[in-house]
Amino acid sequence: MKFSGTTLALVATASAASFGLTEGLLTGGRLSQVNNGRVGVNVHAGRFSKQGHGYSAANGGEPKSGSQLHMAYTVGIVGATGAVGKEIRSCLEDRDKVPVDKLRIFGSSRSAGSEVETKYGKVEVELFDVAAARECDVVFLAVSGDFALEHAQAIAAEGGAVVIDNSSAFRYKPEIPLVVPEINGEETKKSKLIANPNCTTAIGLMALWPLVKKFGLKRCIMSTYQAASGAGQPGMDELLEGTAAYLDGKSPNNDVFAHPLPFNVIPQIDKFQDNLYTKEEMKVTWETRKICGLSDDVPISCSAVRIPTIRAHSEVIVIETEKPVDLDEARESLEDAPGVKLVDNPSELQYPMPLTATGKYDVEVGRLRKSIAFGDHGLEFFVSGDQLLRGAALNAVLVAEEMVANGAL
């Protein structure tokens, strides 16, 4: 049985008071004395602790003054050995803003039984099971859309875990929030199943949204230059192995991509649709509208190209705005935006690049200029962001952090 944070807090406080204790620990229904004037409660997966002055938060943060209730969570990752799954674990460990009491890693029969070294100790990979996943407080899915469709809703059903799904399975369902926390984090209060956006969308919107808020949006044209990591670890491996083969005078294989990627660009990502856009390109249109709350009459067009870089996507974004653009105001909006780093000094040859964006949490934005096509009501800029981080794992972890902060988790 799971309890809400409020319920557990009241239980902990009432229990301490009824026993005449100023400090105590309720663990599995047993109250015992502890030091430092803290009352804590362990029930099911979550751990609450009432903390006094000068005590660090459960997530390792700065000391808090006053008395606060904190909870540590049982966190599950499905697909933790893949490229995105590894980065989800890394983000949880590095950021330390989702207090983890226990980490559970679920995998297939091939990986079950193996052990993974983590910040939270050595973790044995468990064979995935819906009932076991439901015992967690939050589960990250870094698996295929088919797997998510089969299992996500069962995990998140009443009494189960919050599910943050990295696949495209639920992104376009009206009742499922599609979330970039800096834009529409409040949506996480509406459902226990949250969809993570497409990598291209998440990276582009970090730069686009502050400008939309400032100047409004009449239309958007996006051209993307997407790294091999968009096809996961197999895509990165194929690029590296193909490059080595090419330099050795051999023909590179292309089992993952439509054509050999080394020293090439491929103007196709995902399948072509009836309108001759690819599905990847249409994802940008659909998801931008949903996340930003834009009406269907705002034209958003994308051309997506696979390029031979490892893991940072880049994008050229051209917008026509409702209000006249002031470049100084545009720069100020981007400088103030969370998750964005303005890199825009052409005289010093400083601008966003995959080389500098790789491995970074922030999305780089630069090459700001008024659009010749749209005049005073137009703006063009260049974006680079790590596909595995901002485009996938980091956004998923930020969703969980938002839910911790707003009480949805």
Q: What is the pLDDT of residues 145-154, one digit of tens each?
A: 999 999 999 9
Confidence of residue 66 (pLDDT cuts 50, 70, 90): very low
Judged on CB neighbours under 10 Å (0-12, 13-18, 19+), 149 is: middle
- Over residues 359-370, the mean pLDDT reads 98
Report whether pLDDT(2) > 90: no
At the top level of CATH, the class of 73-196+393-406 is alpha beta
Task: Label residues 321-357 b or e (16+ Cβ within 10 Å = b).
Answer: beeebeeeebeebbeebebbbbbbeeeeeebbbbeeb
Percent of the chain whose pLDDT exceeds 90 = 81
Beta-carbon count within 10 A of 283 CB: 23
Q: What is the pLDDT of residues 306-325, one digit of tens each?
A: 999 999 999 999 999 999 99
Instruction: Using pLDDT thresholds of 50, 70 and 90, give the confidence band for residue 48.
Output: very low
Q: What is the pLDDT of residue 154?
A: 98
Per annotation, catalytic residue among 199, 220, 292, 302: 199
Other beta carbons within 10 angstroms of residue 190's beta carbon come to 13
- pLDDT category at 69 given cuts 50, 70, 90 is low
Q: What's the average model confidence in pLDDT over 158-175?
A: 97
Neighbouring C-beta atoms of residue 12, cutoff 10 Å: 23
What's residue 386's pLDDT? Answer: 97
pLDDT of residue 404: 97
What pLDDT digit, counting tens, does each position of 258-300 carry?
A: 999 999 999 999 999 999 999 999 999 999 999 999 999 999 9
Q: What average pLDDT does the segment 240-264 reach? A: 97
- Residue whose tokens read 């935006």: 337
Would the pLDDT of 34 be above 90?
no
Choosing among 2.60.40.10, 3.30.360.10, 3.40.50.620, 3.30.70.100, the CATH entry for 201-227+265-386 is 3.30.360.10
Residue 369 has pLDDT above 50, yes or no: yes
Q: How do residues 393-407 score in pLDDT, each as one tens digit? A: 999 999 999 999 999
Residue 47's pLDDT is what? 42
The pLDDT of residue 71 is 82
pLDDT average, residue stretch 327-355: 98
Per-residue pLDDT, averaged over 139-147, amounts to 96
Task: Report DSSP state, residue 123.
Answer: E
Total-model pTM: 0.83
pLDDT at 70: 59
State the residue for tokens 């100084």. 328
State which amino acid sits at residue 18.
S
Annotated active-site residue 313? The verdict is: yes
Over 50: is that where the pLDDT of 243 sits? yes
- How is residue 242 written in tokens? 């193909």
Which pLDDT score is estimated for 16? 39
Tell me the domain boundaries of the chain: 73-196+393-406, 201-227+265-386
| Tokens representing residue 275 in the block | 């309108």
> How many angstroms separate the CA atoms of 65 and 184, rounded?
30
Parallel/antiparallel/unpaired status of strands 138-141 and 162-165: parallel
Specify the DSSP element, H or E, that contains 12. Answer: helix 5-18
Q: Which of the four pLDDT bands, split at 50, 70 and 90, describes residue 35?
A: very low
Predicted local confidence at residue 81, as pLDDT: 87
Mean residue pLDDT of the chain comes to: 86
Catalytic residue among 70, 91, 220, 313: 313
User: Above 90 in pLDDT, residue 73?
Assistant: yes
- Give yes or no: 199 in active site: yes
Percent of the chain exceeding pLDDT 70 equals: 83
pLDDT category, 121, cuts 50, 70, 90?
very high
pLDDT band for position 52 (cuts 50, 70, 90) = very low
Q: Whole-angstrom Cα distance, residue 136 to residue 74?
A: 5
d(CA 265, CA 68): 54
Which structure tokens are listed for 104?
Answer: 């559970």
Q: What are phi and psi of 306, to 5 degrees?
A: -85, 130
